[in-house]
Amino acid sequence: MFSHRATRLIPLLLSVLAIGLWQGSSGELAQAQAPSQKYPKLILIIRHAEKLGVKEDVHLSDAGKERAKQLPLLFVKSEKRPDPLPIPDFIFAAHDSKNSQRPRETVIHLAKHFKLPIDDNYHSTAPAKDPKAKGAAELRDELFKDPKYAGKTILISWRHGVLPELARTLKATNAPAKWGDEVYDRVWRITYDASGKAEFVDLPQRLMPGDAVK
């Protein structure tokens, strides 16, 4: 038999237990509803594909056109690519300049393959005479502040001379200070955690004969 005092304590204990269960369930619900990722999941940066090296030619060379056709293989599992890159949700390319249309040309086939538009509104080097031109800083703000990019995979085709600057602008502080003049076969991958901390990795494309293996 319970004592009179124990009998009086039972409703109180049940109330405390109920409150604890409610707080736990509501906390789990709030956690489930809270966004787990405010930044993109990852950003992939590539240099435009090969060029002829003739100042008057703003387009890709034949080798560059072939690399552009092969780009979708970066996202396909194969014997030599057992861990393919995640398929991009958004594609960006540096705005055409008087000297080069190559960043946009490099991703045309890729965009068609995945049925994605190309956003080419951002300049790799914003024209000094155009105060409205958007550059790397504006692209960063677009990707980090618009919730539609949260948890998504972004691919950016850029120009190599300012590509390290872009990577650092996107929080990859340990990215190399220079992209080699004759290097076309790399992918710079920047992965973000929920707090926005960036992890940088330099990967081989392995798309064309002669591409680096590592």
Q: Distance (Å, rounded) from C-alpha 177 to C-alpha 167?
A: 10
Domain that holds residue 128: 42-204
Q: What is the pTM for the complete model shown? A: 0.83
Sign of the alpha-carbon dihedral angle for 154, 155, 157, 162: positive
Residue carrying the six token digits 């014997």:
79
Side chain identity, residue 155: L
Q: Distance (Å, rounded) from C-alpha 47 to C-alpha 186?
A: 8
- Does 213 map to a domain? no
199 and 105 together in one domain: yes
pLDDT at 8: 54
pLDDT at 93: 98
Q: Is pLDDT of 38 > 70?
A: yes
Three-state secondary-structure class, residue 192: strand
- Does 211 map to a domain? no
| In the chain, % of residues over pLDDT 90 | 77
pLDDT at 126: 80
Average pLDDT, the chain: 87
147 and 89 together in one domain: yes
Rounded to a whole number of angstroms, the CA Rg of the chain reads 25
**Strand 118-122 with 186-192, pairing:** unpaired
pLDDT at 36: 65
